[in-house]
Amino acid sequence: MDLVELRKISKLVPELKRHLEIIQTGETSFPSLRHPLVFSVPYLPQPEFDEHLNKMYKHKKKESEKAFQHRDYEKYVWLHERPNRVHAFISTTHYLPDQDYWTILGEIFIDTENLWQNFDLWCWLLSSERKEACKIMTQEERDIFSGFPEKITVYRGLNSEKQSSDGLSFTINPEKAKWFSNRFRGTGKVYWGVINRKDILAYFNRRGEEEVVILPGKINFVT
């Protein structure tokens, strides 16, 4: 089924139908719906399923508009699907005080699975000169970070040769890096390097990953 035929038989509302696409993975392909507010991967063009997705879209659209109007910008951001939250966040930054900017940005960062998809955007947001940058971390994380030595070894586990060692997300736990390098095919690599504490933007441990955030170009890695 091609995209033209898919849109003809779909009973989705026009706002969702515009976001239908055919995803190709190797020799197989499947339809998907990737709207900022509603995801369905894969997407099944069935009347009952379309009705469910339409209701979901109408509800989330109404709630997101209400949240924005009531200046509940955090709720507005989280009503969006995970890959679109950073873009929703950008539409709120003009209205956010510095502390809220960093707090919400940290929460989105931790929840994001594929930072590489918006890599330059993340670098720009994290490089902001807004005050209260430490509020990207919780108080507990700030307390731990303050105890870091002046120089610290960090690790990055990569499970694909296509991934770059020069990313944003690292860990101070070598076993966690090893886990990331092996979580899919078991053929990855662990890179490590030493960095000055002042060059670390944040420390996160809300997911138990002992993660540190570092902008590109700060580390010379060793494999």
User: Which pLDDT tens digit goes with each residue over 3-55?
Assistant: 999 999 999 999 999 999 999 888 889 999 999 999 999 999 999 999 999 99
Contact 5, 17 (CB under 8 A): no
Q: What is the pLDDT of residue 166?
A: 66
Q: Are strands 28-34 and 20-25 parallel, antiparallel or unpaired?
A: antiparallel
pLDDT, mean of residues 99-109: 98
Q: What is the pTM of this model?
A: 0.89
Beta bridge partner(s), residue 25: 28
What's the pLDDT score for residue 219?
78
